[in-house]
Amino acid sequence: MAVRLVLQQADIQRALTRISHEILESNRGSDDLVLLGIPTRGVMLAERIAGIIGSLEQRDIPVGALDVTMYRDDLDRHPTRTPRPTRIPESGIDGRTVVLVDDVLYSGRTIRAALDAIGDLGRPRAVRLAVLVDRGHRELPIRADFVGKNLPSAAAERVNVRLTEIDGDDAVAIEGGAAVGDEAANGGAR
């Protein structure tokens, strides 16, 4: 299986720094801002973004985790993972700007589920979406407001995000597809 490394640690840090600045600019500062990461890697990314914004604004930015497992509409087609705890900051989400943070935006189904989950938790003033990678192939009319990297990819490929907190290093790779020279080795078969 072919693996292409597309982002390394420095690239991910630059992308998160840019996303943080874009969030601040869009929100006109950090007032009433709440970041909610979608487990697992979205939570780590939300915490990193909150740290960057916090250092720029000289204040703590509320950050939490939003598990969407039971809100998904495709549970019958995918193995159910164990739900993770949802953690909403003490300040809540009512009347605030909530930025959902996830690692990869693909079909849009996870974000649709997240919007349903947020509706059960409160009524934010606005909901925005920040993703490290947008790979296309949307099945629902959802788009990210803040994107670290657009990575057009084939549907058969897999975008693999690795983060130090979970995986021991930071990297984004695309797995699958034919590597250069593989077509000849396989007799030109696809």
pTM of the model: 0.89
**What count of other Cβ atoms lies within 10 Å of the Cβ of residue 157?**
19
**What count of other Cβ atoms lies within 10 Å of the Cβ of residue 176?**
17
Fold entry, domain 3-76+83-179: Rossmann fold (3.40.50)
Structure tokens at 125: 């003033």
Gap between the Cα atoms of 37 and 43, Å rounded: 4
| CB within 8 Å of 93: residues ≥ 6 apart | 34, 36, 118, 121, 122, 123, 124
Gap between the Cα atoms of 53 and 168, Å rounded: 24
Gap between the Cα atoms of 72 and 85, Å rounded: 16
pLDDT (0 to 100) of residue 50: 98
Q: For residue 144, count CB atoms less than 10 angstroms from its CB and return exposed for 0-12, middle for 13-18, buried for 19 or more.
A: buried
Q: Helical H runs in 28-98?
A: 41-57
pLDDT (0 to 100) of residue 77: 76
pLDDT (0 to 100) of residue 182: 40
Sequence spans of domains, the chain: 3-76+83-179
pLDDT (0 to 100) of residue 127: 98
pLDDT tens series, the chain, 190 aa: 789 999 999 999 999 999 999 999 999 999 999 999 999 999 999 999 999 999 999 999 999 999 999 898 877 776 667 788 999 999 999 999 999 999 999 999 999 999 999 999 999 999 999 999 999 999 999 999 999 999 999 999 999 999 999 999 999 999 996 544 343 333 333 2
pLDDT (0 to 100) of residue 73: 83
